Structure 1
Amino acid sequence: MTLIVFGSAIADFVFRMPHLPRAGETVLGEAGAALPGGKGLNQAIAAARDGGDAHFIGCVGRDANGAMLRATALASGVDVTGLREVEEATGLACVCVDAEGHNQIAVSLGANRRAEAARIAAIPPGATLLMQMEVPPAENAALIASGRRAGARILLNLAPAAGLPPEALRALDLLILNESEAAWIGAQLGQPGHAGSLHAALGIGVAVTEGERGVTAVTGEGVLHLPAHRVAVVDTVGAGDAWCGVLAAGLDRGMPLEAAMRRANAAGALACTKHGAAPAMPHAAEIDALLSRS
């Protein structure tokens, strides 16, 4: 099968500090060299490392950060034929991580604003599409419509939370959110922000990741809740992207939702045990090992 990830590629500058800054506060910390990130690239790498046939569609600048992101994706087995170079600078993120692994992230989208759904010339029937919200929402909406016409499976990680037309949301197979994103879209729909109410309002599958409490998914087949794995947290950057990428890879290989969610839960937990975003995406053998101990 084919997994097409349409989304962002961003160079992350990670600042490690004793606590996250409050409004108006300056906190001293340590930062290293730029690391590969961006929700789209992270998810494509997570899928490829778990054995998925991942094709990444997005934009980077003609600069050193763009070259670094392309090289990282290639080294992880991602097809980057659809990763286009544009004149705008590669997207950047400032990632602040405290001593307990919690994070705050500020993003400059840069070249990601030039991502175009029309660059995907053909969507094979039965393919899986995975999207996030660090590219223009109108492009996501266009790709959702194209994917539905092509008979693809369509997954959207509504991160960061942003609006899409109701018809685009209702055309999804699965909407993936964390708790704050679920609360946001729930408010837009006049509904409580949990998986059951969002499923009822939109008529689609909804999965809400709940941090240490695990994940709850509600589909037409019922409710699935899986607990989180207990791990020693280094930082939580990229955990949601690992979850989304591995889930999409599993579904694309024909796994039932529950089995794909179990792999995704393990992947998200493993991402918390390493520094960074894309570098923390686990490999299939690591996922298998954690599942075998659970």
Structure 2
Amino acid sequence: MPAKVVVIGSLNMDLVTRAPRLPRGGETLIGKSFATIPGGKGANQAVAAARLGAQVSMVGCVGNDAYGEQLRGALLVEGIDCQAVRVVEDSSGVALIVVDDNSQNAIVIVAGANGALTAEVLDSVDAVLQSADVIICQLEVPDATVGHALKRGRELGKIVILNPAPASHALPADWYACVDYLIPNESEAAVLSGLAVDSLETAEAAAAHLIAAGAGKVIVTLGAQGLMFANGASFEHFPAPRVKAVDTTAAGDTFVGGFAAALASGKSEVDAIRFGQVAAALSVTRSGAQPSIPTLLEVQAFKS
């Protein structure tokens, strides 16, 4: 059987428009296109892990609306176990996304049903968590739920990954000891560490700060600059594979899902990092969130 990855997190419908550039405050731009695409950091990471070789279960909530049906259906198509995806009396989560001609994006999220994912819901599906090899969390569901999931993952002796996105404030101090791999991007690392992160040197400093806070290991993703890996004893820079970017939406989610799938399958940390990087690189060559995530065969066939 493939290694089991359990993702605890958000399911959002992405409402995506492309425009020449991102709008300034008070400005109205004429967009080029519009699409509704299944997304949400949790669901994206679940799809990535599934396409990249893992057996995946999703834990989350959707609304009793058309978006909820579509979001759950998109996961089922990928072979993802959705027994722990609850339908609640609310609207499904949405993300409003603008992508510019330089492939950069700006995103506004409305949590909706994602706010109904409580610690009590997690307790009711504890058997799903017990079945995991790797548990992944993000920050698009209530903080209390994330903290509960991290602590339960530690109690169960699972590999616990936290992608602290979106990060708007420092993490609770007692979370760090529950996390085996903390995976922020540069802006998230800056928020968590209180340090500016705009170079390899400052990424290393931020990673050191987060290790000192108690995280097991830290991977700071840096877009086209690759990533900085810290294990408490040393730091290593991994350059990014070279590709032509079209849309960076879900690149970070693809890395997290791919890294988790590879790690759960028994790959070394270094090989899992490189595997996740190739998957993320392929994802930015395509538009959209889940539609951009590559398959295991595509990653295996990649040549930079």
- Among 187, 190, 208, which residue is 1:183 paired with? 190
CA deviation after TM superposition for structure 1 residue 199, in Å: 1.5
* Matched residue SS, 1:8: coil
CA deviation after TM superposition for structure 1 residue 2, in Å: 1.8
Runs of 4+ in 1 over 6 A off after TM superposition: none
Counterparts of 1:1-294 in structure 2, within 5 Å, are 1-116=3-118, 117-122=122-127, 123-124=129-130, 127-162=133-168, 163-187=170-194, 194-220=206-232, 222-290=234-302, 293-294=303-304
AA aligned opposite 1:32:
F
How far apart, in 2, do the equivalents of 1:187 and 1:170 lie? 19
2:17–2:35 Cα contact (<8 Å) kept? no
* Matched residue SS, 1:212: helix
2:22–2:105 Cα contact (<8 Å) kept? yes
Q: Which runs of 5+ in 1 are unaligned?
A: none
Q: How many residues align?
A: 290
Segment of structure 1 superposing worse, 274-283 or 36-45: 274-283
2:18–2:34 Cα contact (<8 Å) kept? no
Aligned to 2:199: none
AA aligned opposite 2:250:
G
CA deviation after TM superposition for structure 1 residue 164, in Å: 3.3
Q: Which runs of 5+ in 2 are unaligned?
A: 196-201
Specify whether residues 203 and 161 from structure 1 end up closer, same or farther in structure 2 by C-alpha distance, changes over 3 A only: closer
How far apart, in 1, do the equivalents of 2:53 and 2:85 lie? 20
How far apart, in 2, do the equivalents of 1:77 and 1:107 lie? 26
How far apart, in 1, do the equivalents of 2:65 and 2:35 lie? 15
* Matched residue SS, 1:56: strand
1:59–1:84 Cα contact (<8 Å) kept? yes
1:126–1:151 Cα contact (<8 Å) kept? no
AA aligned opposite 1:176:
I
Q: TM-score, normalised by structure 1?
A: 0.94
1:130–1:155 Cα contact (<8 Å) kept? yes
CA deviation after TM superposition for structure 1 residue 224, in Å: 2.7
* Matched residue SS, 1:249: helix
User: Once superposed, what is the RMSD of the aligned Cα atoms?
Assistant: 1.7
How far apart, in 2, do the equivalents of 1:38 and 1:274 lie? 17
AA aligned opposite 1:124:
Q
Q: TM-score, normalised by structure 2?
A: 0.91
* Matched residue SS, 1:84: strand
CA deviation after TM superposition for structure 1 residue 8, in Å: 0.2
